[in-house]
Structure 1
């Protein structure tokens, strides 16, 4: 009797969902957000919780860094590039049940660009001349000048859409249009979000997500090993990643960020005003040895100021390949066979550890360096503002920031009118194919000029339960986008 019933019992258990995939997740974070309003705070930890989960903008970043529709299902651009007409999705509601329409978009954009705006990226909105709403599902944004990057600007977390009725409470009780709703925030411990059953788009697989704050690297390791945390997208202890890689229960997710890490050179400071010297320095650096020695093997070599995960990336690493003999020849040609340079290093490990490796590599070609370790405040004052340096190592983490090379007064002081003209053309170009060509030309131009020694893209190293799929490999923006995350059986 017992044996005859056993198959039926087993079937009943399976049918009850006991073997169904999980629909909750706990995400580890090293830093707690100071608030939950991305339109009134600069901390990356805010977007790591709310971007694409709670709040949405007209456009958004995809996992590969491309710009895709968000609350706007499409948009049109006038021939002169100054008028953007956004067509909104129908049937979108905020988490409190109120309708999201063009008036909310106008409110959000006008609020961000207002004189008293507290938006940390107010510059994204300064080109807006007016915002009009001819009907509830249409928003017309008129710019003061052509801006082909406007859809990109609208994808930032700082440009998400809020309702006027709830915007004032967003710091502690965020109300958005996203696939998840805010549930709870136990300060110092965790933030919880739950599935939005009335979401206008495709429903997420997860019903609940908890963002667990764990700042100590040892505690992060212990939490992952114990299963208290399911995934740590920005794992703070890369030295332990090999242990996770050896364990089939985990997957180690290594990707890229927006952080171009460079050995910046003061282009107006002799002898670095001589391109031959800058090229010699670039050829003296063994990028892979640097990545192995300073980054424990994590990092992607770059040959220009552009992220490898971008669709517009050009691999120019071969142009400045490790070639110490070429380096020595260039130095001799430039009459700099006994060169001494100052190397200023800010606090991050990539700079301090990387500085030691680079100093040794430069020494091998006849360049001595005097290393000075600076705190961030000193670095900002002396290097960034005062331009009192020869060499420095820093990671530029802002997305799509190749335009900094068009600023002659920027700290590395590169002044090329041709590059500046190229950026002007890019700013006024709206055709995506043409913009891609210009971005590729820009990468080539600064590589040709050996403005800086381009080292590696700052890595994104994460750990997750091996049964989790859909976490972002790369980080085109600071986000833990859970819209496509799910558990496998």
Structure 2
């Protein structure tokens, strides 16, 4: 902050603000990392010193798995307080994790995942040893348990004030929320804005600005106009808009590693799918070779995309042989339409085939349908006729849930869809979402249709998530990646970035966190222009 403390107002206009709820347990998607993160610290945080982000200290300054492998111990930073000045203790952390898991209204996407990993019954698995020490007992060895407790991966570790909530109740807490983050809640209006004031005792540091305002502005042209007229200091962008804002004199910040776009296949393990072209791995492979990924980066994404590694795998991924998979991607994710045609002919579809592809735009990436259209164009060139079905999110989401796709005649079974993987440092949970037989997508098969690939996935995953031997976890994780790439069932398209434009006259040079496209853990680090001028 400036000498004398925080000053001025930082105004940020965003295309999406998630569910716009003040209680962490009522938000299930990534919006929490944009508008809730300013208020609430997490048990673990980010490594701001690393070029590639990853996990770092949160309200816990030290943490680790205990010698028996069946519990984790967290040492909290001393002297932290909530916004009302009350001390933040291990009892607050215990209360927060249990509220996230067991509150009857919780919709937090991590609640079930967290509870499942705890010693049973989970209600008795968390102990506050002393005011600054917490111990969590797990259901067997869970070497990746830390991933549940940091916004670098998930949201389940957000810390709420036990005494305050128990005193005033849920509804009063939601009207006047309080945490320990670098920003205190001031006010909000659903569909309009969130406002905050600087707080000086968060472990994350003191903000440079005294006030923070997040404005919900879905229209791209309106956001750009607000940036030009100094009504906003920072706005989020789609790639198409970047040249326009650069020409106007604004600075563009590119946040790398935030995710990748893929296309995946649904329900190919059903008996009814036998005989469909997509059940032949050669056809799925042919669809990959037909894609000119560089054209998608250059034209669909206006240059703001990157070559991809395998499904949900990034240079920063934990227990992944990154050089091996970067080499694989360079050699395999290539544009080779002749090879595509040869594979189709070999599979018996030399005269072409028809398929259905589903598409929607996810929050923050309103160009996914454009990518799907580009895929359709490339596939038409090798004789594949594509029926592209573009749907809204309200139709899409139920189709990607287990109860909405567990029967052959439901959802997207037998078809293809686009999807987006978040750029998180731990790939195993994302593989579980798509390939575990009990997951929402169960691409290899569900409990009633256990294919050899599903059985092998379950075997490897058990090692990857529970072995105390790092070498065994490393091998199992990379064997899972190999299993998926061999089946050509979750195929990378390109890696995505997040874009923000900044008025350089009102805000100094800032950088985001690799792999986290939202700015809730960045706003307090954004300086005034004289504090850190933009490079010339």
Cα 1:179–1:432, aligned 2, differ >3 Å: closer, same or farther? Answer: farther
Q: Deviations over 1:236-276 (max 9, x none)?
A: x54321022234x4211223464431122244443222222
Is 1:142 the counterpart of 2:137? The answer is yes
- Once the two structures are TM-superposed, the CA of residue 451 in structure 1 deviates from its matched residue by 1.8
User: What is the match of residue 278 of structure 2?
Assistant: 272
Match of 1:320 among 307, 328, 333: 333
Indicate conservation of the 8 Å contact 2:83/2:180, yes or no. Answer: yes
Tell me, what secondary structure is at the counterpart of 2:279?
Answer: coil
Is 1:393 the counterpart of 2:418? The answer is yes
* 1: CA distance, partners of 2:209 / 2:96: 29
* 1: CA distance, partners of 2:189 / 2:398: 37
Cα 1:370–1:185, aligned 2, differ >3 Å: closer, same or farther? Answer: closer
* 1: CA distance, partners of 2:475 / 2:135: 28
Q: Deviations over 1:122-156 (max 9, x none)?
A: 12321223111221111110012322221111113
Is 1:246 the counterpart of 2:271? The answer is no
Aligned residues: 469
* 2: CA distance, partners of 1:42 / 1:289: 34
- Once the two structures are TM-superposed, the CA of residue 187 in structure 1 deviates from its matched residue by 4.8
User: What is the match of residue 354 of structure 2?
Assistant: 341
Match of 1:424 among 454, 462, 472: 462
What does 1:193-212 correspond to in 2, within 5 Å? 193-200=196-203, 202-212=205-215
User: What is the match of residue 65 of structure 2?
Assistant: 77
* 2: CA distance, partners of 1:134 / 1:383: 41
User: What is the match of residue 452 of structure 1?
Assistant: 490
Indicate conservation of the 8 Å contact 2:290/2:378, yes or no. Answer: yes
What does 1:284-295 correspond to in 2, within 5 Å? 284-295=290-301
Is 1:109 the counterpart of 2:109? The answer is no
* 2: CA distance, partners of 1:206 / 1:327: 55
* 1: CA distance, partners of 2:204 / 2:255: 28
Q: TM-score, with normalisation over the residues of structure 1? A: 0.86
- Once the two structures are TM-superposed, the CA of residue 62 in structure 1 deviates from its matched residue by 4.1
Cα 1:309–1:478, aligned 2, differ >3 Å: closer, same or farther? Answer: farther
Match of 1:86 among 71, 74, 78: 74
* 1: CA distance, partners of 2:262 / 2:133: 43
Point out the structure with max Rg over C-alpha.
1
Tell me, what secondary structure is at the counterpart of 2:348?
Answer: coil
Indicate conservation of the 8 Å contact 1:254/1:462, yes or no. Answer: yes
Tell me, what secondary structure is at the counterpart of 1:197?
Answer: coil
User: What is the match of residue 431 of structure 2?
Assistant: 402
Indicate conservation of the 8 Å contact 1:59/1:70, yes or no. Answer: yes
Match of 2:314 among 278, 295, 308: 308
Indicate conservation of the 8 Å contact 1:89/1:137, yes or no. Answer: yes
User: What is the match of residue 9 of structure 1?
Assistant: none
Cα 1:38–1:290, aligned 2, differ >3 Å: closer, same or farther? Answer: same
Is 1:50 the counterpart of 2:75? The answer is no
Indicate conservation of the 8 Å contact 2:360/2:396, yes or no. Answer: no
Is 1:123 the counterpart of 2:108? The answer is no
Q: Deviations over 1:438-462 (max 9, x none)?
A: 5444334322332233112333121
* 2: CA distance, partners of 1:436 / 1:454: 21
Match of 1:175 among 171, 175, 178: 178
Q: TM-score, with normalisation over the residues of structure 2? A: 0.79
* 2: CA distance, partners of 1:43 / 1:104: 23
User: What is the match of residue 161 of structure 1?
Assistant: 159
Cα 1:432–1:197, aligned 2, differ >3 Å: closer, same or farther? Answer: farther
Indicate conservation of the 8 Å contact 1:39/1:160, yes or no. Answer: no
User: What is the match of residue 343 of structure 2?
Assistant: 330
- Once the two structures are TM-superposed, the CA of residue 211 in structure 1 deviates from its matched residue by 1.5
User: What is the match of residue 533 of structure 2?
Assistant: none
Tell me, what secondary structure is at the counterpart of 1:141?
Answer: strand
Q: Deviations over 1:304-326 (max 9, x none)?
A: 11253634454242222111122
- Once the two structures are TM-superposed, the CA of residue 396 in structure 1 deviates from its matched residue by 3.7
User: What is the match of residue 12 of structure 1?
Assistant: none
Q: Which moved more, 1:112-121 or 1:378-387?
A: 378-387
- Cα RMSD (Å): 3.0
Is 1:485 the counterpart of 2:474? The answer is no
* 2: CA distance, partners of 1:336 / 1:187: 53
Cα 1:448–1:389, aligned 2, differ >3 Å: closer, same or farther? Answer: closer
Indicate conservation of the 8 Å contact 1:241/1:252, yes or no. Answer: yes
